[in-house]
A and B are shown apart, each in its own frame.
Chain A
Amino acid sequence: MLRLDQLPVRRPARIAAIDWERLPVAQARRMRELGFDEGVGIETLHHGPIRRDPIALRIGRMTVAIRRAQAEAIQVVEAAAAE
């Protein structure tokens, strides 16, 4: 298990847990709407040019950008490690 913000680029993983309490209500809802949920496949694609923030992710079939601070609330398991 590691935090999403620490997941290396292009290493497919799965969301293990999301600490919804850490996120402001509106942000948590938007993240649910974008498909963030336990068990969903996720992969870090790119980091922003400054302080490696924000992070572009593949979640399901979508590409979504979120900030590092939001990624810190998400725990992931690398797909290779899970098998």
Chain B
Amino acid sequence: MNPAPLVALVGNPNAGKSALFNALTGARQKVGNYPGVTVERKSGRLSLPDGRPIELIDLPGAYSLEPASPDEAVTRDVVLGRQDGERQPDVILVVMDATNLDNHLRFALQLIALGIPIVVALNMIDMAKRDGLEIDVPALSRALGVPVIATVAVRKRGVDELLAALADATGQRPHPAEAIPQDLVALQRRARAIAAETTVEHDVVRRWTRSVDRIVLHPVIGPVLLAAIMFVMFQSVFAWAQYPMDVISGWQDALGAAATAVLPAGVLRSLIVDGVIAGVGSVVVFLPQILVLFLFILLLEATGYMVRAAFLMDQLMARVGLSGRAFIPLLSSFACAVPGIMATRTIDDPKDRLTTILIAPLMTCSARLPVYAIIIAAFIPARSIGPGIGLQGLVLFTLYVAGIVGAMIVALVLRRTVTRGQTPGFMMEMPKYQMPSWRDVLLGLWQRAMIFLKRAGTIILVSNLVLWALVFFPRPPAGYDQPAIDYSIAGRVANAIEPAFRPIGFNRDIVLALIPAMAAREVAVSALGTVYALKSRDTAAQPGAAPPEELSLRDSLRKSWPLPTALAFLAWFVFAPQCLSTLAVTRRETNGWRWPAFMLGYLFALAYLASGATYWTARALGL
């Protein structure tokens, strides 16, 4: 049987492609990757009115078939049938923004010239009306020689007509073109002529976007507003996530208690309770914070504000040799560096992009939060040092700032050394403001949540199990009078490398926790949890030891670490590159091991220096 016809969604950025994709496929989407590149491959299946199935793929937005970024290269290669792992589309569904015909028609003309059957979705037709534009759809269809359907993707308008047109188009044969028209200026002039013929412009009453921009881009109000939005965003991450996080840790405790009650004491119980439930639970608990952060980022992107933020930040970024475009990936990196690094694909200038990738891990990602949270809770008194300012919050804020300042200094140095190049330009289309569609936002959140949980279920689960085994085996012989952990493999490895970390104030337990935390930073917390849980049990089991007392991790840490060590540990995590996923995505995005190796090296060096400096300063101050 032949595979279902493949329909590719193609269009300029900001044409509403993804909204149309969501409107057509709903939640039946698959997100994958093209082999060799990290460009997301979003596909979905749907049925035509006559019942035939088709496969729909959403290609990255592009301005022409001449790619300026890796994203756009995928669009060109798929359309031309040159992309590995993808067949050539049977039909191209071109999405155009009705309010921006002159520009979007140019790309459409280039695509039509390919000879593949085409259907045009004239999207955001409601916005065009609002802007006083009246488009003669049949005339446009005649001028282009292909069916044109007016749609409003965010309201699912025009979807049935679109499906009917697609059904017709799948029957047509392609007649391949000999050459792709490349002369952009000529195409653009033709596009403008067609747009002028088919559009009637009425007097415009409302110019929404313009009036909003007068406030948002105001030289004084604009930056203040941006700072306020950032402040509310980070506040909400903590405030809104608190309740669901408490609920999740409640479940985790209940599950651990239930498992303890059911399972007989021994290897299996330790594996399930200490290895699986405590390990994975300490990471999953943090899903709410990640979702709140992504909710803000998705909303800022969907409304069109994000580009305005890039505009306001451009000159600040220029001072360290970057452009405003770097602001968006760096902001996403506060949630997680992996999507942040993937978002650098929209940066045209290769050196600018590489620098942004290299500093992305310095943004305080949400995986550091559990590490910071437990150390701050254990060592920093919850004291108020001013109206509305708590000492704990201030320390956390300082850690965020340390990461940002570190990133800026690193960018400055890199741009003068390894990533030296011409000053990058800043050129960005500023889309109209839009009410985001809740369906699109929720779908985005859902996909983020699944990616995170998959990570917790795979890389984090495995590293926890490995750690548990390293800490648990081999069991000490009878009569061994030291804590059992010292006899284990992990204990021996940690003992061997501990001298290297002694100068920066790290003890053996920290070194032990850092080993599995190479996989992911948040594992450090569960690893410390496992180490101290087994340790206190071992101590309790010894003859003559104090009766077993259940110490929380916080209390165990407070008892066994001096304050300078705790502060050095915090400083370590501002810089340390402890995340396999980040290194893996850097390798894919830079096509090789050179840059991830560089990233690993420079971040470890910084982490070591920063911890050392913190430790000795704290000691000198007598803390």
Interfacial residues, chain A to chain B (CB-CB below 8 A): 24, 26-27, 29-35, 37, 45-54, 56, 60-67, 69-70
Contacts and interface: CB of A to CB of B under 8 A. Distances in A.
B102 A61 contact: yes
B210 A45 contact: yes
Contact of B189 (A33, A37, A48, A51): A37
A69 to B, nearest CB: 7
Contacts of A46: 213-214, 217-218, 311
Nearest to A31: B427
B100 A62 contact: yes
Contacts of B103: 34-35, 60-62
B560 interface: no
Nearest to B307: A65
B315 A51 contact: yes
A50 B188 contact: no
Contact of B427 (A50, A51, A64): A64
A27 B425 contact: yes
A48 B68 contact: no
Contact of B428 (A32, A53, A65): A65
Interface residues of B, number: 44
Contacts of B312: 48-49
Contact of B213 (A35, A50, A52, A56): A56
A56 B430 CA distance: 8
B275 interface: no
Nearest to B191: A35
A30 B315 contact: no
A24 B349 CA distance: 11
A3 B90 CA distance: 47
Contacts of A70: 425, 427
Interface stretch (B219-227, B334-342, B512-520): B219-227
A37 B428 contact: no
A26 B349 contact: yes
B427 A29 contact: no
A30 B427 contact: yes
Nearest to B101: A61
A43 B97 CA distance: 21
A67 B425 contact: yes
B50 interface: no
A65 B220 CA distance: 18
A53 B314 contact: yes
B422 interface: yes
A32 B184 contact: yes
Given A37-B189, A66-B427, A26 B348 contact: yes
B68 A67 contact: no
A80 B222 CA distance: 30
Contact of A30 (B63, B100, B217): B63
B18 interface: no
A18 B572 CA distance: 51
